[in-house]
Structure 1
Amino acid sequence: MMKYNLSEPWLTLDKWQKKVLKTKGNIVMRSGRQVGKSAIISVKCGEFAMNHKDKTIMVIAKVERQSQLLFQKILRYIHVKNKDIIMGGVDRPTKTRIKLYNGSIIYCLPAGDTGYGIMGFTIDLLIADEAAFIPEEVWNSVIPTLAVTKGDIWLLSTPFIKEGYYYNCFNDPTFTSFHQSSEDCQRRDDDFLAHKKATISKAQYAQMYLGLFVDNLKRLYSDELIKKCCILKRKPKEYSRDFFLGVDCARMGENESTFEILDGTHKERIIQIENIITTKTLTTETERKILQLEKQYDFNKIGIDDGGLGVGIFDHLLENSITKRKIVALNNASRDKDKDKDTISLLKEDMYIHLLTLMEKGKIKLLNDDNVKESLRCILAEYPQDHKNKMLIWGKHSHITEGIIRACWLIKKKKLSIEQEAKELVCSGYFGMFFFGVGIIPASQLLF
């Protein structure tokens, strides 16, 4: 197996990467994970910036976190190759800009939902990381920034669904397309790929590791639904509320854990309070973070996946006197029996569908947070073509949604007193009508 220099990947380029480096004009790339697509684009961008005067380059992704990953690789490459070309002092590199002494500037911005913050630029080169996950409205805002310069577009991503600007670029003759499977990568880990192939669906493996567009996939949460629900701003914590915590621990090979805090005081009006992401943390640090949040919010229940790396955290919290009556195992592989039917369904899919129902019925409001929206947008429903197997639900950036669905499931299962149940009916505004003398009075008009 080929050795790979992680700190200086340009020293060990694959043949396909060398071809990308030499290609001129528009480029669209699709690949499996960890094949080196961002590595080669960072090299190509660095060379373009250093060898062309007075050029404006824009690096975008759906969220800031993603765009920063590629941006930092570009900065490192330029620093290693020619650090003296990088301006210093007040013009030194920032999180969003690299200025070079030859007059070229590299910007890094999140695209968000509309691309509004990018519309004022005139650019010579647009680079979009995880382009498949960028909303269509963004392209309508961003592409015109290249009109005057007739600049180039470089798109890189793992595939998503068979629609939209990114997908259409593969049939556009003005783009040179590249496809690279994880199985063809010279640095592949065969044991890792074999494990993934055995534990996830064929469609999921085809999309995430073979870099293929798959027919029987549809988004679970539409843009319209996300826009309708993700409207909240963060606000100070209120007291005497019923808080629930959903945790998704970083899996093997992934860097992020997420902590989703929801106010479930009223089951018909659920409110997301906070979305917290930690990166590259040990399980002991994740455990401490849960205890810290418990001290701050005094949760009704805490939901965690006790499979994989979460099992150690769950076991420790189960032994802790503070959390032992609050911690609940919500393992994606466990099953939940349907009381009305003689069937057993996967709990993971039940939790995802429950969130969908809450969103469609207007019973939950979520944070207007790009990371939350990105996670919801990437969730896919896989419909088996033989119609015999159950629908599967998954997504590349699912960790935030995984935390949200666990907190929502805990709220669904929470027990209420008779008085609380009555108040829930009133607060819902549409659960039944009450008779008083002559006529019918809507429950929403009653006050306790």
Structure 2
Amino acid sequence: MPSRTADDLLYAADPVIWCREILGFFPDSWQCDLLRSRSRKIILNCSRQSGKSTTCAALGLHESIYRRPSFGLVVAPTQDQSSELMMKFDEFRSAVELPSDYLSTDTKLAVKFANGNRFVARPGSEKSARSFSAVTLLLEDEASRVLDDLYNSVRPMLAVSNGRHILMSTPFGKRGHFFKIWSEERDLWQWFEIPAEKCPRITKEFLEEEQRTNPWFEQEYHCVFMDSEGSIFSSDLFRSLANPAVSVLKL
């Protein structure tokens, strides 16, 4: 481990200060709340390009350096998507002065530190992800597109470690575990809803143009779960058919 100076102790205690002074990353207000949170279950329903993956990459690096044991695992629908978060992790890592022998393994999809901590990115395959155990930080990127089989297979990895699970995504229709958690189980999670207007890097002019031309505008930028494209009947109608007490049709 790096020597623990007074500054280092401060950085260990407050990841936001560490991000600003070491990484040169200045988090937005909601990102500060996320970085400082110790909740075990967090769900992020965010606009595109709001900075959710960047924040979680910084969080993963902070825990890899300052918490032990730490095993961060990234899962996503595809290897390209999990690799993207790993790339952000590596970019931040290059800003940190670590001893030359501090890394024992370093590949495009896995880093093992000399203190035994690991940070690994895996593609969206239930078979390729289920072999891990004792995960302390499980990051599920683009969670609205992650198959339920993968979600169900990675959850037990947190059982012994009592690890943390962070779901982050933009909505993708009224389906899957991300929608179910957001619509029915949100009280069990610390939740963040971040529309595009909360991201100072997205301009008003860009959003005005997108609103006129992008049919998925509300879903992509305002965190709204839309019915799947091409659906003849709405998901609300199907729920009403399953439960006669619910009425959505007005004649």
TM-score range, shorter chain: 0.7 to 0.9
Alpha-carbon offset, residue 96 of structure 1: 1.7
Q: How many Å separate the matches in 2 of 1:61 and 1:40?
A: 16
Whether contact under 8 Å (1:62, 1:133) holds in the other structure is yes
Q: How many Å separate the matches in 2 of 1:46 and 1:62?
A: 22
Alpha-carbon offset, residue 9 of structure 1: 7.5
Q: How many Å separate the matches in 1 of 2:214 and 2:196?
A: 15
Q: How many Å separate the matches in 1 of 2:209 and 2:105?
A: 45
**Aligned twin of 2:129:** 118
Q: How many Å separate the matches in 2 of 1:119 and 1:85?
A: 32
**Aligned twin of 1:142:** 154
Amino acid at match of 2:165: I
Q: Does 1:381 align with 2:233?
A: no
Q: Does 1:151 align with 2:151?
A: no
Q: How many Å separate the matches in 1 of 2:221 and 2:170?
A: 8
Q: Does 1:20 align with 2:34?
A: yes
**Aligned twin of 1:103:** 116
Whether contact under 8 Å (2:42, 2:190) holds in the other structure is yes
Whether contact under 8 Å (1:29, 1:177) holds in the other structure is yes
Q: How many Å separate the matches in 1 of 2:160 and 2:177?
A: 21
Q: How many Å separate the matches in 1 of 2:77 and 2:208?
A: 30
Q: TM-score, normalised by structure 2?
A: 0.76
Kindly tell me: are residues 199 and 139 of structure 1, through their superposed partners in 2, closer, same or farther at Cα, counting changes over 3 Å? same
Kindly tell me: are residues 205 and 384 of structure 1, through their superposed partners in 2, closer, same or farther at Cα, counting changes over 3 Å? farther
Q: How many Å separate the matches in 2 of 1:9 and 1:167?
A: 33
Q: How many Å separate the matches in 2 of 1:110 and 1:117?
A: 7
* Greater percentage in helix: 2
Question: What are structure 1's unaligned runs of at least 5 residues?
Answer: 1-7, 219-379, 386-448
**What do residues 268-303 of structure 1 show as CA deviations (whole Å, max 9, x unaligned)?**
xxxxxxxxxxxxxxxxxxxxxxxxxxxxxxxxxxxx
Q: How many Å separate the matches in 2 of 1:143 and 1:105?
A: 18
Whether contact under 8 Å (1:87, 1:93) holds in the other structure is no
| Identity over aligned pairs, percent | 25
**What do residues 396-419 of structure 1 show as CA deviations (whole Å, max 9, x unaligned)?**
xxxxxxxxxxxxxxxxxxxxxxxx
Q: Greater CA radius of gyration, 1 or 2? A: 1
Question: What are structure 2's unaligned runs of at least 5 residues?
Answer: 1-21, 235-251
Higher relative contact order (CA 8 A, sep 6+): 2
Q: Once superposed, what is the RMSD of the aligned Cα atoms? A: 2.1
Alpha-carbon offset, residue 120 of structure 1: 1.5
**SS of 1:102's equivalent?**
coil
**SS of 1:198's equivalent?**
helix
Alpha-carbon offset, residue 37 of structure 1: 1.0
**SS of 1:153's equivalent?**
strand
Kindly tell me: are residues 34 and 382 of structure 1, through their superposed partners in 2, closer, same or farther at Cα, counting changes over 3 Å? farther
Q: How many Å separate the matches in 2 of 1:192 and 1:61?
A: 28
Q: TM-score, normalised by structure 1?
A: 0.44
Whether contact under 8 Å (2:58, 2:89) holds in the other structure is yes
